[in-house]
Amino acid sequence: MLQAAPNPLMKVENLVVEYSVGGKTIHAVSDVSLEIARGETLGLVGESGCGKSTLGRAVLQLRQAVSGKVLFDGHDLTTLKGEPLRQMRRRVQLIFQDPIASLNPRRRIGDIVAEPLVIAGVKDPEERKRRVAEVLSAVGLDPALVSGRLPHEFSGGQCQRICIARSLVLNPEFVICDEPVSALDVSIRAQILNLLEEMKARYGLTLLFIAHDLAVVKAVSDRVAVMYLGRLCEVGPSEQLFARPAHPYTALLIEAIPVPDPDVRPTQSVPVGEPPSPIAPPSGCRFRTRCPRADARCASEVPELRLVATGQFAACHHPLI
Amino acid sequence: MSGALLSVENAVVDLPTPRGNLRAVDHVDLAVGAGRTLGIVGESGCGKTMLSRAVLQLLPKKAKLSGRVMFDGQDLTTLSAEKLRKLRGRSLAVVFQDPMTSLNPVLTIGTQLIETIQEHLELDLAEARQRSIELLAAVGIPAPEQRLAQYPHQLSGGMRQRVAIAVALSCEPKLLIADEPTTALDVTIQAQILDLLAREQQRRHMAMIIITHDLGVVAGRTDEVAVMYAGRVVERAPTPALFKQMRMPYTEALLAALPKLDVAPHTPLPAISGRPPDPTRPLKGCSFSPRCRYSAGRCASEKPQLCSAETPEHLYACFHPIAARVGA
Ligand SMILES: Nc1ncnc2c1ncn2[C@@H]1O[C@H](COP(=O)(O)OP(=O)(O)OP(=O)(O)O)[C@@H](O)[C@H]1O
Ligand SMILES: Nc1ncnc2c1ncn2[C@@H]1O[C@H](COP(=O)(O)OP(=O)(O)OP(=O)(O)O)[C@@H](O)[C@H]1O
Ligand code: SF4
Ligand code: SF4
Ligand SMILES: [Mg+2]
Ligand SMILES: [Mg+2]
């Protein structure tokens, strides 16, 4: 099931991640399974708080999972420790949403980008300098001009270029981009999305691209996974999923996108109440409290992901296709 | 522009900064009639918020405003602080991007609504309370009676924005300014909030200004759009006319740069290169010229003025407007 390729680079199996707050459990990621093929970009969408970042952090072992496996190139990262884990981690990198906040304001750009090399034990300063210059040029910045400067001297878009350079300096194979353009302006957003695509081709990367904007996700993803309140709703090839969504939540998300065309009247949104709480998620299908198709079965039985079309899976008792 | 509920005439906002004077709003003219919606679009830092704060007379202390802001027959720039305060609660309302800016975190939702209503309308406590419940229900808040006792932080972002809208609507304003009311929210919640604003506006025949950086948001929901760049309005037109034929290269580029659902994955986006000019270092010519692919001749040395060609309602500030190039 959910086979992306015979030999996926990243494979997440039944991952469960929880937080405990004031004696209560937040079910942030519940039983999520995913595969990402070598060279593929998998987009992950869903509304705020649905668990996208938590999933990304758990994949990187920055947050410990309650249960489940994270197989990277065949190795289960959840059981690795010490040096073997460090070795694996070099091959996996993360780019954050807020480019400015993720750069140390007191350090120079050259040092910020070189930091992963230092941590990884690259001792030769000339070698470090060469690698830093190479990635800075790759992301469209002039190493001679920017290396000695501080983050506050750069715009949000330039800071994101710096973050991308830093994430690439160790030649990773897999990069998790957690909302890399959400904080950027429309005009800068397009520049950074193009840059990510270029970097992917140039360095042969595999990407997990997290965002809440469906159009942004579609622009860069081969396949898309839709998440709602800690669970996966639907996974499928981008074009197919957007053309024929099977899960009612995917359909709702697509409908809600504002279209820049005055002749397309905005569809009247469903007057839904507050999204349910991840502390006490609804029984059965977690989307049922907002779903126009919900019935008794949806309240009692958790829908499993099943095949609805070639390569497309949906977790719904009454899929649209 | 006569007959408009609000007309901004030749507004200039200057802010002193350590780097020198920053002209946040540069000779802007705008008008909105009762029952109409104006969209103001432009990227971060182009002056959208400063312009709306100029209308509300809520500029930072050190800011200098010149020009006129005519609202409902009076020039707001000449009113006393006391008169302005009354006006702002009553006929001129605002909703900000972050609902926590409009709401008081230490007061319950009930207290905030009831106090606002009682301050501006002559209602007793029971009536004001009843009115608050009706308003919360109107903005789609489930169990409105119980919500009165809750604090803003106990609600989700979408719910808080609804409450902020309820507070803004509580005194039947004639003009509502919504400054990026949905930028912090998810698409599904965004659609709900925009629907809510449209519905309340129609019902109340209220004028509305929606400020956003997303051309998609204004397309289906405004009568007129003003596109701002580097403090100036660079294109202004009735919404259908604007989307049918953009004249200003910046507007066209902004639309083209938006990722679209009907485009195949991995198609390179037509990005706008570079970024807006430093507002403390104004350019001599067209502010967009360093990024504009049509820039030529006097673009770098002379400022294009906002003017109209075929139809008087469609204005643009460009020496080489888009349609003029066709066949030329
Ligand atoms: N460190 C934490 N401690 C407690 N709860 C947390 C923590 N981080 C996240 N959560 C909760 O876990 C759930 C999932 O959060 P997460 O940040 O993964 O969502 P997200 O999909 O990335 O949202 P966004 O789009 O807002 O970034 C939310 O309910 C959130 O409040
Ligand atoms: N209090 C302030 N003091 C000095 N300059 C300011 C102040 N607030 C804003 N500015 C500057 O004024 C210009 C216009 O800012 P404004 O907030 O109006 O932009 P905006 O279009 O609303 O942007 P955004 O989309 O980011 O909200 C910017 O260059 C900004 O840096
Ligand atoms: S399982 Fe039921 S409630 Fe869930 S999405 Fe499908 S129809 Fe809706
Ligand atoms: S005036 Fe010149 S530089 Fe400015 S938008 Fe028009 S063509 Fe481009
Ligand atoms: Mg997140
Ligand atoms: Mg603003």
Any chain B CB within 8 A of the CB of A22? no
Q: Which residue has the tokens 């697509």?
A: A254
A52 in ligand 1 pocket by Cβ < 6 Å?
A: yes
Closest CA to B217 of B193, B248, B253: B193
For chain A, what is the total number of helices (H) and then of strands (E)? 11, 12
d(C-alpha A189, C-alpha A227), whole Å: 23
Interface of A with B in 48-67 (CB under 8 A): 48
Any chain B CB within 8 A of the CB of A257? yes
CB contact under 8 A, A190 and B259: yes
Q: Which of A187, A256, A263 sits opposite B254 (nearest CB)?
A: A187
Residue B270 CB neighbour total at 10 angstroms: 14
Q: What is the pLDDT of residue A1?
A: 46
Q: Which residue has the tokens 């780019």?
A: A95
Residue nearest to atom 5 of ligand 1 (CA): A19
Percent of chain A with pLDDT over 70: 95
| Segments making up each domain of chain B, as ranges | 6-91+174-258+270-325, 103-170
Say whether pLDDT at B181 is over 70: yes
CB contact under 8 A, A258 and B155: no
Do A195 and A78 meet the contact criterion of CB atoms below 8 Å apart?
A: no
- Give residue B169 CA to ligand 1 midpoint distance, Å: 32
Q: List the single range of A92-101, A105-114, A159-168 with lowest mean pLDDT.
A: A92-101
pLDDT, average across residues B283-309: 95
Tell the CATH superfamily of the B6-91+174-258+270-325 domain.
Answer: P-loop containing nucleotide triphosphate hydrolases (3.40.50.300)
CB contact under 8 A, A266 and B191: yes
CB contact under 8 A, B155 and A212: no
Chains A–B, number of C-beta pairs less than 8 Å apart = 145
Q: What is the pLDDT of residue B263?
A: 92
For chain B, what is the total number of helices (H) and then of strands (E)? 12, 12
Q: How many angstroms away from the CA of A48 is the closest CA of chain B? A: 7
DSSP code of residue A272: -
Q: What is the pLDDT of residue B157?
A: 81
d(C-alpha A200, C-alpha B265), whole Å: 14
More confident residue, A232 or B189: A232
- Give residue A192 CA to ligand 5 midpoint distance, Å: 18
CB contact under 8 A, B213 and A214: no
Say whether pLDDT at B89 is over 90: no
Burial class for A296, CB neighbours closer than 10 Å (0-12, 13-18, 19+)? exposed
Q: Which value does ipTM take for this structure?
A: 0.87
More confident residue, A67 or B98: A67
d(C-alpha B268, C-alpha A81), whole Å: 40
Residues 6+ positions from A133 with CB-CB distance below 8 Å: A143, A147
Q: What is the pLDDT of residue B113?
A: 92
Q: Which two tokens stand for residue A222?
A: 């081969």
Q: Which two tokens stand for residue A154?
A: 């750069």
- Give residue B290 CA to ligand 4 midpoint distance, Å: 9
pLDDT band of B2, cuts 50, 70, 90:
low
Interface of A with B in 151-210 (CB under 8 A): 155-157, 185-191, 193-194, 197
Do A191 and A172 meet the contact criterion of CB atoms below 8 Å apart?
A: no
Q: How many angstroms away from the CA of B131 is the closest CA of chain A? A: 21
Ligand lying nearest the CA atom of residue A233: 3
Report the pocket of ligand 4 as residue ranges, CB < 6 Å: B 249-250, 286, 288-289, 292, 294-295, 299, 304, 318-320
CB contact under 8 A, A266 and B273: no
pLDDT band of A272, cuts 50, 70, 90:
low
Q: What is the pLDDT of residues A11-53, one digit of tens each?
A: 999 999 999 988 899 999 999 999 999 999 999 999 888 999 9
Q: What is the pLDDT of residue B325?
A: 52
The pTM for the full model equals 0.89
Pairing of strands A231-237, A312-314: antiparallel
Q: Could you identify the atom of ligand 3 that is nearest to the CA of residue A297?
A: 2
Q: Is B313 helix (H, G, I), strand (E, B) or coil?
A: coil
Q: What amino acid is encoded at B181 in this protein?
A: P
Q: How distant, in Å, are the alpha carbons of A233, B65, B283, B288 from that of B279?
A: 46, 16, 9, 12
Q: Is B272 helix (H, G, I), strand (E, B) or coil?
A: coil
Q: What is the pLDDT of residues B187-233, one digit of tens each?
A: 877 888 888 899 889 888 999 999 998 898 899 899 999 999 999 99
pLDDT band of A4, cuts 50, 70, 90:
low
Percent of chain B with pLDDT over 90: 66
CB contact under 8 A, B265 and A273: no
CB contact under 8 A, B157 and A48: yes
Residue nearest to atom 12 of ligand 1 (CA): A28
Ligand lying nearest the CA atom of residue A212: 1
d(C-alpha A196, C-alpha A95), whole Å: 11
Q: How many angstroms away from the CA of A262 is the closest CA of chain B? A: 4
Contacts of B139-143 with CB under 8 Å at 24 or more apart are B139/B163, B139/B165, B139/B166, B139/B169, B139/B196, B139/B200, B140/A271, B140/B192, B140/B196, B141/B166, B142/A273, B142/A274
Q: Which residue has the tokens 């710096």?
A: A162
Q: Which two tokens stand for residue B170?
A: 């509580």
Q: Which two tokens stand for residue A81?
A: 């420790």
Q: Could you identify the atom of ligand 1 that is nearest to the CA of residue A20?
A: 4
Ramachandran class of A68: left when φ > 0, alpha when ψ lies in -120 to 50, beta otherwise: left
CB contact under 8 A, B265 and A157: no
Residue nearest to atom 3 of ligand 3 (CA): A288
Q: What is the pLDDT of residues A288-311, one digit of tens each?
A: 998 999 999 999 999 999 999 999
Do B317 and B299 meet the contact criterion of CB atoms below 8 Å apart?
A: no
Do A276 and A229 meet the contact criterion of CB atoms below 8 Å apart?
A: yes
B45 in ligand 2 pocket by Cβ < 6 Å?
A: yes
User: B249-257 and A186-203 are packed helices; what angle lies between their axes, rounded to 10 degrees?
Assistant: 50
- Determine the residue of A287, A295, A320 to mutate for testing ligand 3's pocket, defined as the one with the most ligand atoms within 8 A of the Cβ atom: A287
Q: Which two tokens stand for residue B236?
A: 């202004």
Closest CA to A279 of A46, A27, A18: A27
Do B238 and B219 meet the contact criterion of CB atoms below 8 Å apart?
A: no
Q: Could you identify the atom of ligand 3 that is nearest to the CA of residue A298?
A: 2
pLDDT, average across residues A264-288: 78
Q: Backbone phi, then psi, for A234, in 5-degree steps?
A: -155, 145
pLDDT band of A155, cuts 50, 70, 90:
confident
Q: How many angstroms away from the CA of A122 is the closest CA of chain B? A: 34
